[in-house]
Structure 1
Amino acid sequence: MKSVKVQFLVVDCPSLYNCIIDTTTIADLFAVSSAIHLKMKYYTKDGQVATVNGDIAAARRCFEAATKNLHTVVTPKKKKVEQ
């Protein structure tokens, strides 16, 4: 088991994911993730395999909310620049 320092950014926005981890960090941690199963497995300090389980109901609610108005595209109005 090893520790890996990871720099991360906290963003306040709606997302289907609670956490986004890049592939190099997953590889450094010897972790295996499955987006389909909403799971990630990794080794603990004592060598056991731990599993992080996602919340499928929350993921579905977020997906439905995100795709609810896909037929409508809203573009922000540009501000006029005074010269």
Structure 2
Amino acid sequence: MEESTVHEDEEAKMEKFFALVKSTREVREQLAGTSEKKERATTADKPQSTPWNPTFVLEDFVEAPAPVVEKEGTSKEGEK
């Protein structure tokens, strides 16, 4: 009788294991389905944005004049 009890115990464990595998698959499939639905919903809900079209004015291309820097001690008065 002990052998049949061990065998029944192992079968019960196997049944629990396969039930767990099955429920894990179902949960994974449900999550995969909901994430696909969320992706579709978020892309459908977003308003289509217009592409960026930069505008330029003439001042964007005109270079500023270089600042005039006078050096100290180079005056012509000192040469005389």
If you compute each CA radius of gyration, which structure gives the higher value, 1 or 2? 2
Kindly indicate which of the two structures has a greater share of residues assigned to strand: 1
TM-score (normalizing by structure 2): 0.21
Larger RCO (CA under 8 A, 6+ residues apart): 1
TM-score (normalizing by structure 1): 0.21
Kindly indicate which of the two structures has a greater share of residues assigned to helix: 2
